[in-house]
């Protein structure tokens, strides 16, 4: 994949049309083994990942899609309504090209439990899995979703069963979490708080200084004795489980930076979603993560004809003032609809142009809004077609 | 008359992309129309309030941001805004609830602040809800602090709302005894009382409506009070019902439409009439889907309020427009 060039200086502000994201070229590129779809919540990330995976499979690749939280009916139609952390073949995929598609819904808790079981002795593992704090926090600990998604990605990649893995990322509170969680969690585990909490468990009180006493005393006062000891057990457990955390986080990170990975940022033509997307694009380039492009979902379909919104509204007003016929209210309605659509399209075009001006090298694919929700392979195929069928002048 | 006269804390949640922040801001303006003072809080660190009201990014401090919606001859109240920043909230929280001063600052050096604010979202939620509790519960004993008639919380999305509001319940279960448990129980008493209402924002599409139904069921399960459903981004209703059916099955008369266009002084180029009719068909199909979802929303059996989709996007002026609609609908 070509390295994206970052343009600076006066040329950068020239708002030409964004280059087009060639989805089929991306899916056919055998050197790409991982596609990560990221973006803010509610922009159709899950649908985009599933559509990309299906299209890749029907173009002859052996694909698995790891999804986080698909809509119920979509999950059913892909045969993954059960959370069991095992990829299942998706029925109904056209395998004429020799490809196949499997899908898996990530179960965060189970992945976490599996990590515990693989890292600790059976007895220790049982203790950890029964700790009340572990039960309450293992699925909600910040970054666990992100970390577990990456953990699973690492596992599946390591198995080498598939030649393309498509990953749907968790609906993060902010774009930051996905990239930062592993680093944050591992620096925390190496940090002073952990050593402090582990100190009593590890024995000698020689670590105790005035500061430490103040802190443990304070924690005990706020938390109460039992609570503090539950927390300490939990932290000790984390320490065991994530002993090799830093090394694994670095491996995952390296995997994401490798040229076999492509990031696809997903957005909707809305201010907030595009702002998040811009932020994501910048972060990815700072971290030297390979960005394939931007997918803008739910674009308003372009209005037909050259009648402007203002002309249409003026016409509608005239028809309302002096209705020439029975059908005048209908025609006025048609004109108002047309004006509404023109205005939406115009606003979205402005938003996209601003994005393109700030990020001129980001290849973009625009997908028009569908009338209904996507909940079967037919719908996913349609989204795939729309993704691939880009007007180069748009 | 408002549907929620006793409510002091309005929690506004919704699936991503449904416009919950816009609704929260409009609701704050609408509630302030009765001469009441309202506080609008955000907890997700996005500075969405500052952007909507076109002011500088908000510090962790209550700032006056707007005058309430003007309605009738009553003088409107004032809307203040607060961006609740967990890092700033931690020392305040410790000082407020556990009377910790210097010791609180020492925690910072050991990474406790970072742990509580970024790594353990549970603790982060404790801090955020703790601050919300404080602003709602203020009374004349809190010297110098402003008191509000209502607090509107732009809350985390539907998928996380129960976890967010119920965090104190979980904490209380973990702590079993002691000051944390006591404090957590007091907070849950407010959140479960009729002084709180959790409103859900949705759009008329399958997934958001499903998530709203799931959210309501989850709120009921844990005893949190469900407020209303705000149906946002509703398509314009420019076609009459009988025309919609005809538009869907291609029964509109192109010749009649063309004649009307000519009568309205519009030059009819080739393809214009077909274009308009095809846009009408598209619109009619979506309206039918919306109606199906609207029927599902109605079955949820909670008060609902509809807000239109604004083609030009949302600016400060349109927040007042939406506020007026919420007020007319009885939400404020």
| Residue pLDDT, tens place only, B17-58 | 899 999 999 999 999 998 899 999 999 888 899 999 999 999
* Residue A59's pLDDT band (cuts 50, 70, 90): very high
**Quick check: A2 pLDDT over 50?**
no
- Which residue of chain B comes nearest to A181, CA vs CA? B119
pLDDT at A173: 54
Same domain, B73 and B217: yes
pLDDT at A182: 63
Neighbours of A244 (CB within 10 A): 10
Q: Given an 8 Å threshold on Cβ–Cβ distance, is B94 in contact with A270?
A: no
* Residue A174's pLDDT band (cuts 50, 70, 90): low
pLDDT at A394: 47
We report the CATH number of the domain holding residue B317 as 3.40.50.300
Query: Whole-angstrom Cα distance, residue B320 to residue B31?
Result: 11
Q: Does B318 touch chain A (CB under 8 A)?
A: no
Same domain, B167 and B270: no
pLDDT at B49: 94
* Interface mutation vs chain A, best among B271, B276, B318, most A CBs within 10 Å: B276
**Quick check: A244 pLDDT over 80?**
no
pLDDT tens for B217-234 read 999 999 999 999 999 999
For residue B101, tell me if it sits in a domain: yes
Burial of B149 (0-12, 13-18, 19+ CB in 10 A): middle
**Percent over 90 (pLDDT), chain B:** 62
Same domain, B167 and B44: yes
pLDDT tens for A13-24 read 445 677 999 999
For residue B1, tell me if it sits in a domain: no
Structure tokens at A388: 């691939």
Range of the domain at B286: 236-299
The pTM for the full model equals 0.86
pLDDT at B119: 63
**Quick check: A260 pLDDT over 80?**
yes
Same domain, B274 and B209: no
In chain A, DSSP assigns E strands to: 34-38, 62-67, 88-89, 100-105, 164-168, 261-267, 291-299, 364-368
Q: Does B98 touch chain A (CB under 8 A)?
A: yes
A165 to chain B, minimum CA–CA distance in Å?
Answer: 26
The average pLDDT across A119-142 equals 72
Structure tokens at B142: 């809190």
Query: Whole-angstrom Cα distance, residue A143 to residue A145?
Result: 5
Tell me which residue in A143, A304, A329 faces B271 most closely, judged by beta carbons: A304
pLDDT at B259: 94
**Quick check: A237 pLDDT over 70?**
no
The H or E element that residue B20 is part of is: helix B20-31
Question: What rounded mean pLDDT belongs to chain A?
Answer: 80
Tell me which residue in B175, B206, B260 faces A331 most closely, judged by beta carbons: B260
* Residue A7's pLDDT band (cuts 50, 70, 90): very low
The average pLDDT across A246-253 equals 73
Instruction: For residue A126, give every residue at least 6 positions away whose Cβ sits within 8 Å of its Cβ, in sequence order, or none.
Output: none
Same domain, B93 and B144: yes
Q: Does B312 touch chain A (CB under 8 A)?
A: yes
pLDDT at A261: 94
Query: Whole-angstrom Cα distance, residue B306 to residue B232?
Result: 6
Burial of B305 (0-12, 13-18, 19+ CB in 10 A): buried
Tell me which residue in A141, A318, A338 faces B265 most closely, judged by beta carbons: A318
* Residue A227's pLDDT band (cuts 50, 70, 90): low
**Percent over 70 (pLDDT), chain A:** 72
For residue B3, tell me if it sits in a domain: no
Number of domains into which chain B is organized:
2
**Quick check: A12 pLDDT over 50?**
no
**Quick check: A65 pLDDT over 70?**
yes
pLDDT at B4: 95
Same domain, B223 and B246: no
Q: Does A352 touch chain B (CB under 8 A)?
A: no
**DSSP annotation of B132:** H
Positive or negative: CA dihedral A249, A253, A254, A258: positive
Query: Whole-angstrom Cα distance, residue A355 to residue A349?
Result: 10
Query: Whole-angstrom Cα distance, residue A72 to residue A209?
Result: 55
Q: Does B290 touch chain A (CB under 8 A)?
A: no
Closest to A320 measured CA to CA, from A311, A308, A330, A310:
A330
DSSP, residue by residue, B181-223: HHHHHHHHHHHHSTTEEEEEEE-SSHHHHHHHHHHHHHHHHTT
pLDDT at B102: 63
Q: Does A349 touch chain B (CB under 8 A)?
A: no
Same domain, B156 and B249: no
Same domain, B261 and B171: no
Lowest mean pLDDT among A280-284, B121-125, B282-286: B121-125
Backbone angles phi, psi at B307, to 5 degrees: -125, 140
Query: Whole-angstrom Cα distance, residue A375 to residue A381?
Result: 11
Same domain, B253 and B240: yes
Chain A residues with CB under 8 Å of B211 CB are none
- When comparing pLDDT for A11 and A269, which is higher? A269
Q: Where are the alpha helices (DSSP H) in A120-209?
A: 122-130, 132-137, 144-159, 175-189, 192-202
pLDDT at B118: 65
Structure tokens at A201: 């468990």
Instruction: For residue A300, give every residue at least 6 positions away whose Cβ sits within 8 Å of its Cβ, in sequence order, or none.
Output: A269, A341, A344, A345, A348, A368, A369
Q: How many residues does chain B have?
A: 332
B71 to chain A, minimum CA–CA distance in Å?
Answer: 28
* Residue A3's pLDDT band (cuts 50, 70, 90): very low
| Strands, sheet with B38-42, edge to edge from the N-terminal-most edge strand | B63-67, B78-83, B38-42, B150-154, B9-14, B196-202, B226-234, B304-308
Q: Given an 8 Å threshold on Cβ–Cβ distance, is B180 in contact with A337?
A: no
Q: Where in chain A is the domain with CATH 3.40.50.300?
A: 18-301+351-380
Rg (CA), chain A: 26
Tell me which residue in A142, A222, A332 faces B98 most closely, judged by beta carbons: A222
Same domain, B288 and B193: no
Question: What rounded mean pLDDT belongs to chain B?
Answer: 89
For residue B93, tell me if it sits in a domain: yes
Closest to A64 measured CA to CA, from A81, A44, A87:
A87
* Residue A334's pLDDT band (cuts 50, 70, 90): very high
Instruction: For residue B1, give every residue at least 6 positions away whose Cβ sits within 8 Å of its Cβ, in sequence order, or none.
Output: B330
**Quick check: B213 pLDDT over 90?**
yes
Q: Given an 8 Å threshold on Cβ–Cβ distance, is A193 in contact with B263?
A: no
pLDDT at B136: 94
Positive or negative: CA dihedral A164, A59, A259, A145: negative
Interface of A with B in 152-211 (CB under 8 A): 171, 173-174, 184-185, 188, 191-193, 196, 211
pLDDT at A33: 96
B198 contacts B13 by C-beta, under 8 angstroms: yes
pLDDT at A266: 95
**Quick check: B329 pLDDT over 80?**
yes
Q: Please, which contacts does A73-82 make with residues 24 or more away whose CB atoms are closer than 8 Å? A: A73/A373, A73/A375, A73/A376, A73/B206, A74/A46, A74/A47, A74/A50, A74/A374, A74/A375, A74/A376, A74/A380, A75/A105, A76/A375, A77/A375, A77/A376, A77/A377, A78/A50, A78/A103, A78/A377, A79/A103, A80/A104, A80/A105, A81/A105
Instruction: For residue A73, give every residue at least 6 positions away whose Cβ sits within 8 Å of its Cβ, in sequence order, or none.
Output: A373, A375, A376, B206
pLDDT at B62: 94
* Residue A139's pLDDT band (cuts 50, 70, 90): low
pLDDT at A241: 64
pLDDT at A13: 44
Q: Does A315 touch chain B (CB under 8 A)?
A: yes
Same domain, B127 and B60: yes
Lowest mean pLDDT among A217-221, A311-315, B200-204, B244-248: A217-221
β-strand pairing of B78-83 with B63-67: antiparallel
**DSSP annotation of B5:** T
Same domain, B150 and B271: no
Instruction: For residue B158, give every residue at least 6 positions away whose Cβ sits within 8 Å of its Cβ, in sequence order, or none.
Output: B13, B14, B15, B200, B211, B212, B214, B215
Lowest mean pLDDT among A197-211, A287-301, B244-258, B297-311: A197-211
Query: Whole-angstrom Cα distance, residue A120 to residue A112?
Result: 12
Positive or negative: CA dihedral A89, A94, A98, A101: negative
pLDDT at B42: 96
- When comparing pLDDT for B213 and A254, which is higher? B213
**CA A183 to chain CA centroid, nearest Å:** 18
A275 to chain B, minimum CA–CA distance in Å?
Answer: 11
Neighbours of B5 (CB within 10 A): 6
pLDDT tens for A343-384 read 999 999 999 999 999 999 999 999 998 877 788 899 999 999
For residue B2, tell me if it sits in a domain: no
pLDDT tens for A74-99 read 787 787 777 567 888 999 999 999 99
Structure tokens at B329: 């609908």
**Quick check: A203 pLDDT over 70?**
no
Q: How far is CA A129 from CA A116, A139, B254, in A?
A: 8, 12, 69
Which architecture does CATH list for A18-301+351-380?
A: 3-Layer(aba) Sandwich (3.40)
Chain B residues with CB under 8 Å of A337 CB are 236, 238-239, 276, 279-280, 283
**Quick check: A204 pLDDT over 50?**
no
Query: Whole-angstrom Cα distance, residue A70 to residue A80?
Result: 9
Lowest mean pLDDT among A112-121, A363-372, B38-47, B276-285: A112-121
Q: Is B265 helix (H, G, I), strand (E, B) or coil?
A: coil
DSSP, residue by residue, B21-89: HHHHHHHHHHHGGGS--EEEEE-SS--HHHHHTT-SPP-SS-EEEEEPPPBTTBPP-EEEEEE--HHHH
Closest to A303 measured CA to CA, from A330, A275, A336, A279:
A336
- When comparing pLDDT for A201 and A48, which is higher? A48
Report the range out of A192-196, A281-285, B229-233, B242-246 with the highest average pLDDT. Answer: B229-233
Chain B residues with CB under 8 Å of A306 CB are 269
């Amino acid at each position: 994949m070509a390295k994206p060039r970052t343009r600076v200086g006066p040329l950068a502000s020239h708002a030409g049309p964004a280059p087009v994201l060639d989805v089929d070229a991306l899916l056919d590129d055998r050197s790409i083994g991982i596609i990560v779809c990221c973006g803010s919540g509610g922009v159709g990330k899950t649908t985009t990942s599933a559509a990309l995976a299906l299209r890749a499979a029907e173009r002859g690749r052996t694909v698995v899609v790891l999804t986080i939280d698909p809509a119920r009916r979509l999950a059913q139609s892909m045969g993954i309504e059960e959370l069991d952390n095992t990829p299942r073949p998706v029925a109904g995929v056209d395998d004429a090209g020799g490809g196949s598609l499997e899908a898996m819904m990530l179960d965060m808790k189970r992945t976490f439990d599996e990590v515990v079981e693989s890292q600790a002795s059976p007895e220790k593992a049982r203790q950890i899995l029964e700790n009340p704090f572990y039960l309450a926090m293992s699925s909600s600990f910040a970054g666990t979703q992100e970390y577990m998604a990456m953990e699973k990605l690492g596992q599946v990649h390591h198995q080498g069963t598939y030649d393309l893995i498509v990953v749907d990322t968790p609906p993060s509170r902010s774009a930051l979490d996905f990239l930062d969680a592993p680093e944050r969690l591992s620096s925390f585990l190496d940090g002073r708080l952990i050593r402090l909490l582990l100190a009593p468990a590890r024995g000698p009180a020689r670590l105790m200084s005035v500061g430490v006493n103040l802190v443990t005393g304070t924690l005990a006062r706020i938390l109460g004795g039992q609570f503090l000891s539950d927390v300490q057990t939990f932290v000790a457990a984390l320490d065991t489980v994530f002993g090799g955390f830093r090394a694994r986080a670095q491996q995952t990170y390296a995997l994401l930076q490798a040229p076999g990975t492509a990031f696809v940022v997903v957005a909707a033509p809305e201010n907030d979603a595009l702002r998040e997307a811009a932020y994501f694009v910048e972060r990815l380039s700072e971290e030297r993560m390979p960005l394939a492009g931007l997918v803008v979902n739910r674009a308003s379909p372009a209005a037909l004809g050259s009648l402007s919104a203002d002309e249409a509204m003026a016409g509608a007003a005239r028809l309302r003032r002096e209705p020439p016929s029975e059908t005048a209210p209908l025609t006025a309605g048609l004109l108002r609809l047309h004006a509404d659509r023109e205005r939406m399209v115009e606003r979205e075009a402005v938003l996209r142009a601003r994005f393109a001006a700030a990020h001129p090298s980001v290849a973009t694919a625009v997908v028009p809004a569908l009338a209904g929700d996507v909940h079967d392979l037919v719908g996913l195929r349609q989204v795939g077609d729309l993704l691939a069928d880009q007007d180069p002048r748009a | 008359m408002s549907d929620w006269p006793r409510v002091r804390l309005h929690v506004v949640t919704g699936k991503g992309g449904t416009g919950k922040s816009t609704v929260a801001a409009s609701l704050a303006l609408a509630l302030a129309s009765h001469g009441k003072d309202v506080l609008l809080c955000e907890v997700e660190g996005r500075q969405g309030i500052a952007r909507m009201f076109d002011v500088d990014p908000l510090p962790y401090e209550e700032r006056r941001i707007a005058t309430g919606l003007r309605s009738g001859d009553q003088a409107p109240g004032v809307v203040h805004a607060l961006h609740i920043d967990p890092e700033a909230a931690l020392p305040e929280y410790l000082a407020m609830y556990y009377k910790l001063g210097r010791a609180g600052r020492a925690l910072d050096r050991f990474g406790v602040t970072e742990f509580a604010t970024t790594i353990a979202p549970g603790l982060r939620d404790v801090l955020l809800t703790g601050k919300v509790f404080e602003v709602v519960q203020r009374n004349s004993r809190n010297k110098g602090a402003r008191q509000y008639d209502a607090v509107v919380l732009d809350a985390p999305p539907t998928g996380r709302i129960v976890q967010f509001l119920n965090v104190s319940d979980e904490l209380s279960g973990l702590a079993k005894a002691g000051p944390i448990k006591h404090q957590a129980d007091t907070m849950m008493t407010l959140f479960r009382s009729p002084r709180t209402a959790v409103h859900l924002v949705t759009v008329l599409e399958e997934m958001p409506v499903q998530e709203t139904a799931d959210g309501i069921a989850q709120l009921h399960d844990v005893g949190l009070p469900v407020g209303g459903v705000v149906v946002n981004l509703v398509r314009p209703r420019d076609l009459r019902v009988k025309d919609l059916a005809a538009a869907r099955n291609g029964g509109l008369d192109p010749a009649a439409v063309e004649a009307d266009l000519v009568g309205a002084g519009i030059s009819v180029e080739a393809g214009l009439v077909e274009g308009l009719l095809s846009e009408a068909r598209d619109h009619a199909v979506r309206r039918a889907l919306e109606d199906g979802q609207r029927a599902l929303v109605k079955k949820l059996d909670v008060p609902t309020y509809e807000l239109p989709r604004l083609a030009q996007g949302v600016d400060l002026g349109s927040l007042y427009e939406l506020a007026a609609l919420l007020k007319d609908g009885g939400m404020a």
